[in-house]
Amino acid sequence: PPQGPPQGPPQGPPQGPPQGPPQGPPQGPPQGPLQGPPQGFSQGHPQGLPQGHLQGPHQGFPQGPLHGPPQGIPHGPPHGPPQGLSHGAPQGMPHGPPHGPPHGPPHGHPQGPPPGAPYPQANGPGSLGPGMGYGGAPQSYGGPQMGHGAQPPQPQQAQRKLDPDQMPSPIQVIEDDRKARGGPFYTSKRGLVPPLVTTDFVVHDEGICSPRFVRSTVYSVPCNPDVLRQTAVPFALCISPFARLAPGESELPLSDFGEEGPVRCNRCKAYMCPLMQFIDGGRRFQCVFCKGTTEVPAHYFAHLDHLGQRSDKFQRPELCLGSYEVVATREYCKNSVFPNPPAFLFLLDVSYNSVRNGLVRLFCTHIRSILDELPKEEGQDRSRVRVGFITYSSVVHFYNIKSSLAQPQMLVVPDVHDMFVPLLDGCLVSVEEAASTVDSLLEQIPGLFADTRETDTVLGSAIQAGLEALKAAECAGKLFVFHTSLPIADAPGKLKNRDDRKLLSTDKEKTILTPQSPFYNQLGQECVAAGCCVDLFLFHNAYVDIATIGQVAKMTGGQVYKYTYFQEDVEGSRFLEDLRRDVSQPVAFDAVMRVRTSTGIRPTDFYGNYYMANTTDVELAALDCNKCIAVEIKYDDKLVEEEGAYVQVALLYTTCGGQRRLRLHNLSLATCVQMADMYRNCDLDTMVNFMAKQGVRHLLEQGPRQVKEGCVSKAAQMLAAYRKHCASPSSSGQLILPECMKLLPLYLNCLLKSDALSGGPELTTDDRSFAMLSLCSMDVASTVAYFYPRLLPLHDVDVDAVDLPVALRCTAEKVREDGVYLLENGIHMFMWIGMAVDPDFLQNVFAQPVAARIDIDKTALLELNTPISRRVRDIVARVRAERQRCMRLTLVRQGDKMELVFRQFLVEDRHGEASPSYVDFLCHLHKEIRNLLS
C-alpha cells in the first residue's frame, strides 16, 4: 500500500464526485463533500460511572476524513496512528485497568491498521458514499459473496472498508447477557431492568410482576418531562397479560373475596396490590396510584406489625405478589349474569378452489384428533368448550349435530343478505357427548361438495353466520375461518380486485394497504361486542386483499395465517400444526383491559390487535399467550424522585371453563433526576417492539419515506442527547453509544428494511399487509427474532450437546461454502447448503453424498437413523417449538434461485438502494448525530 495520503480520486470502483446536481430524495447524506466513516467507536458511559471494557477493540474504526475535499484526500499526518485510534485508554477514559465486566473479545485482537498505514479511502465499498441511506442512489458494494466468507479480503479492500467485526455485535451482547443474567430473576427491587428476552431466566415474583407480562422501555423515569422530551426516548409499555411461563415459574394464584368482591381504592378504583400502604393501625390504606385513602372493609381487616406490614401479608397473593387473579362477582359480568362456557365454530370454504387443493379433505380428516386438545381449565378432566361447523361458498350451510340425532342435518341459508341461524339448538355441542354425530358429519362433508363448480365465494356473510350462532347460544367464542379467494360473490363484504404492486414503497401505497371498505371494520366491532374472536386461515393463489379482510381479525384480537399456493402434500403438515396450536392454547374470552398509572403519568396511545369504544378500555374478543399490546405513556406533571412511578394492568375476562376473572399485573419503576440514570436503565428490546408498531400505524397515515426519516431522526436525537449530556468529552469523529442502546442502529436498520415497513420488489401486496398485521400483535421476543434472524451453523454441531449451537451474525461473511446453516425469524425458516459440504455430513442428513443431488423441494428432513440426522432434526424441532407459528422449512442450495431470497435475511448486508448495510447505516446515523450536535 502507498505510504502517505493517496493523491487524486479514490482507486477502485469509478464513483468519484457526483456529476451534476444530486439525484434522489434528500434523506440520504449530503451530496457534496464526503462525510466519511466515524473516526472512532466507543460505547460511551455516563460521566461518573465506572467505565467498563468496551465492545470489541475500543478504538473502533480506522478514521477517515470527516469534512474533506470531494476526492476524499485525508487530512493529518501520513504516518502514525490515525486520530481516532487511541492506543491505551480511549479518549475521556482514565488510564489503568478497565472496570466492570468485559464486553466483546479479549485483548490481543488487531487494533485496526498498523501505525503508518494510510486511512481507508472514504468513497470505497462499505463506506457511506453520496446518496447512501434510505432512498439514495445505489452504490457498488464490496461485500463478500455467499459461501466465500472464510476467504481473506484483499489488502486494498481491507483498508477501505470499515470492519463490521469491530461494531457492536448482537450475538456478543446476547451471549454476554446470558452469562451474566441467566438463572433466577427476583422482582423485589423497584426499577430493575430485566434480562434480555433472548436470555433464559426464571422469575421469582416478590411484589412486582414478571417482565414476561409487562416490560417498559425505561426503568428509571425522568422526574422532569423536559428531560425525556430532549432525549426522544419513547416511554412505553409492552403488555402480554397471558404470556407463557418458563419451566420452574409458578402459575398465578387465584384469590376469592366472596360476594364482596376485590378490595379497591374508592377514588381511582385501582385494585389492592403489594404497593398499597396501610395506615391508622391497618384500618385504612393509602393508594399508591392516586394518593387517596380508603377504609379497609371489616372482613378484610388485619393488624400491622412493627414495620407497618399486615400480619397476613404472605397468606394473601394480592399483598405479596406482583401478578395474581381474582374471582369476579356478578357486577363484573354483562347484564350481571355469569357467562356460559365459550364455543369454537369452524367455518370451512367448500368452493371449487378449496376442494381442488385438498383443503376440505385434509381438514375433515384431521380436525377430529385436534378437537381432543381443546383447552380446559386447570383441575378439570375435560374441556367445557363446545364446537360447531358451518360450510359456505356462495350460500351458507349450518349443521345440526345434536347427540340425539342418528345423522347430522344440513340447513341452508340461501339469502346471504339477511343472515340468521335456522336452528334453535344442535349447532354447538360438546365433542364428547356428540362424538358419533361429529364423526359422521366430517366423513360426509368431502363427498357432499366433491363435484362443486362454485368459484365465487362470500366471506362477510359466513362470519355474520358464526357471530349470530354465538349470539343465539349466549356465549363468547372463536371463529376459525378457512378461506381461499377474494370474496366477489354478491353479498355483504363483497370486494373488488384493486391490487397494484407498483404502488408499494411509494407515497401512494397507503391506497392499497388501507381497507377498501368499512364493512369488515364494522363487522369486527359487532364481533367484539358479542365476545366473538375471528382467526383467518387463508389458502389463496391470487390476491385476497388481506388489508381489508384482515381487519376483522385485527379488531377482535385474532390472527391471520397465510398459505399461498397451498398444496396438501407441501403445506398440509404446517397448516395442521398451526391449527392444533391455535385450538389447544389457553385463551381468555370477552376481555377488557385497563391500564392505571400513578399521578403525573397516563397511558395515551395503544398499539396492537384490539378495539376501543372509549379512551380507557381496550376490548378484546379473545386474548392468547402470543398477543402483546404496546401502550405509550405521557406526562401530566413532574414526578417526585423518592416516590417512583407505578402501573397496574387489570384484565377482566372469561376463562375457557366459563368463569369470570380479573388478572392483575403491577409494575414499579424508579424515577431519576439525571439523564444518565435513564440511559443506564433502558430496555432496547421493548423499544424496538414499540417503534415497530408505531411505524406500522404511521405508514397508513403518512408515506413510507416520512416514516423512515422520522425513525432515523428520532434515533439520532436519542444518541445525540446522550453524547451531549452524558458522555465524556471526546473527538467528534467518535460515535459514542449508551451501553444498553449500542444495538439501536442495527435494530433500527433491520426494522426499516423489514417486510412490514419496506419489502422488496418480489413482495406482493398481500405479503406486505400480512407482515404489517403480524407485527401489530407480536410480543417483544418475536420482534427481536423477526428483525434480526437467528443464523445457526449445523455442519459442525456436537451430536451429544443439548443446547442449540451458538448463533452467527447475519452476514454473508459468516456463510462458508463448506457449511450448512439454519436461518429463521419466527415466520420463515431456511436451510442453506453450501456446494463444498463434507460428503459424510450430506449422506448422514440428506442421504445424498453431494449437494447437487439433494431434493430441495422437500419441506421436511429425512428421518435417518444417524446421530447427526437426529441432532439436526432436533434443532429444527426446538426452533419451531420456540416460535408462535409453525415455520415451513425451505432448503436452499448455494447458487440456486432461492439464494436471492435467503440473502434478504442476512440483514447486516446491503441489498439494493433501499436496503443499506449495517456499516452504511451506522455512518449515515453518525452523520445525522453530528448534524444535530453542530
- CA dist 434 to 174, 225, 406, 756, Å? 51, 61, 10, 44
pLDDT level of residue 435 (50, 70, 90 thresholds): very high
**Closest to 682 in 3D by CA, of 2, 46, 12:** 46
Give one DSSP letter per residue of 581-635, joined into a string.
Answer: HHHHS-EEEEEEEEEEE-TTEEEEEEESS-B-SSSSPEEEEEEETT--EEEEEEE
Question: What does the DSSP assignment read for 252-312?
Answer: PPEE--GGG---B-TTT-PBP-TT-EEEGGGTEEE-TTT--EEEPPGGG---B-TTS-BTT
Residue 229: pLDDT over 70:
yes
The pairing of beta strand 343-349 with beta strand 386-392: parallel
Q: What are phi and psi of 295, to 5 degrees?
A: -70, 140
Q: Using one digit for the tens of pLDDT, what is the confidence trace for 251-300?
A: 999 999 999 999 999 999 999 999 999 999 999 999 999 999 999 999 99
Secondary structure string (H, E, C) spanning 422-437: CCCCCCCECCCCCHHH
The reported pLDDT for the residue numbered 102 is 38
The secondary structure of 47-69 as a DSSP string is TTSPP---SSSTT-SPP--SS--
User: Cα separation of 731 and 734, whole Å?
Assistant: 6
Starting at the earlier edge strand, list the strands of the sheet with 386-392. 409-413, 396-400, 386-392, 343-349, 477-483, 532-538, 560-562
According to the model, what pLDDT value does residue 733 have?
81
User: Positive or negative CA dihedral for 808, 809, 814, 815?
Assistant: positive
Instruction: Give the residue with greater pLDDT, 51 vs 679.
Output: 679
pLDDT of 731 strictly over 90: no
3-state SS class at 663: strand
Distance, in Å, from the CA atom of 806 to the CA atom of 791, rounded to the nearest integer, reads 9
Residue 460: the pLDDT is: 97
All cell numbers assigned to 306:
412493627
Whether residue 565 is predicted with pLDDT greater than 90 in this model: the reply is yes
For residue 443, the number of C-alpha atoms closer than 13 Å in the C-beta half-sphere is 8
Helices (H), 726-808: 744-753, 765-777, 780-787
pLDDT at 234: 97
Rg of the chain taking only CA atoms, in angstroms: 30
- Looking from the CA of 303 toward its CB, the CA atoms found within 13 Å total 2
**Between 901 and 36, whose confidence is greater?**
901
The mean per-residue pLDDT over the stretch 327-343 comes to 93
Compute the distance between CA of residue 271 and CA of residue 596 in angstroms, rounded to an integer.
Answer: 10
pLDDT in tens, 479-519: 999 999 999 999 999 999 999 999 888 888 989 999 999 99
Please state, in angstroms and rounded to a whole number, the distance separating the CA atoms of residues 532 and 541: 28
Instruction: Report how far apart the first and last C-alpha atoms of the chain are (Å, whole number).
Output: 35
DSSP assignment string, 679-739? HHTB-HHHHHHHHHHHHHHHHTTS-HHHHHHHHHHHHHHHHHHHHHHTSPP--TTEEEEEG
- Separation of alpha carbons 52 and 99, rounded Å: 5
Q: Can you read off the three cell numbers belonging to residue 917?
A: 448495510
| Separation CA 119–CA 6 (nearest Å) | 9
Number of H helices, E strands in the chain: 22, 29
Name the strand (E) or helix (H) holding 573: helix 568-584
Helix (H, G, I), strand (E, B) or coil at 185: strand
pLDDT of residue 729: 85
Q: Give the span between the Cα atoms of 672 and 804, in whole angstroms.
A: 40
3-class state of residue 323 by DSSP: strand
Task: Please tell me the predicted confidence (pLDDT) of residue 760.
Answer: 65
pLDDT per residue over 372-419, tens digit each? 999 998 888 899 999 999 999 999 999 999 999 999 999 999 999 999
Nearby residues of 816 by Cβ (< 8 Å), 6 or more positions away: 147, 148, 149, 150, 834
Output the pLDDT for position 31: 38
The pLDDT tens digits of the residues spanning 114-172 come to 333 332 333 333 333 333 334 333 333 334 455 544 443 333 333 345 777 889 999 99
Q: pLDDT grade, residue 804 (50/70/90)? A: very high
DSSP letter (8 states) at residue 136: P
pLDDT tier, 197 (very low <50, low <70, confident <90, very high otherwise): very high
pLDDT at 691 over 50: yes
pLDDT 10s digits, 441-476: 999 999 999 999 999 999 999 999 999 999 999 999
Question: Does residue 899 register a pLDDT over 60?
Answer: yes
Judge whether residue 883 has pLDDT over 50.
Answer: yes
pLDDT reading at 41 higher than 60: no
- Tell me which amino acid residue 420 is: F
Q: Between 769 and 68, whose confidence is greater?
A: 769
Q: How far apart are CA 890 and CA 892, in angstroms?
A: 6
Distance CA 841, CA 835 (A): 12
Computed over every residue of the chain, the mean pLDDT equals 85
- C-beta of residue 517 within 8 angstroms of C-beta of residue 495: yes
The full DSSP string for 524-537 is HHHHHHTTEEEEEE
What structural domains does the chain harbor? 257-320 (2.30.30.380), 343-585 (3.40.50.410), 690-784+916-932 (1.20.120.730), 789-905 (3.40.20.10)
Q: What is the pLDDT of residues 741-794, one digit of tens each?
A: 999 999 999 999 999 998 766 789 999 999 999 999 999 999 999 999 999 999
Cell 398499597, located at residue: 276
- Say which residue the cell 369504544 belongs to: 613
CA pair distance 427, 429, nearest whole angstrom? 7
Which of helix, strand or coil describes residue 478? strand
How much is the pLDDT for 188? 93
Helix (H, G, I), strand (E, B) or coil at 790: strand
SS (H, E, C) 296-322: CCHHHCCCECCCCCECCHHHCHHHHCC
Instruction: Examine the pLDDT at 887 and tell me if it is beyond 60.
Output: yes
Question: What integer pLDDT is reported at residue 132 of this predicted model?
Answer: 37
Which residue did the predictor score with more confidence, 733 or 396? 396
pTM of the predicted model, to two decimals?
Answer: 0.84
CA distances from 5 to 470, 793, 837, 871 (A): 78, 42, 44, 54
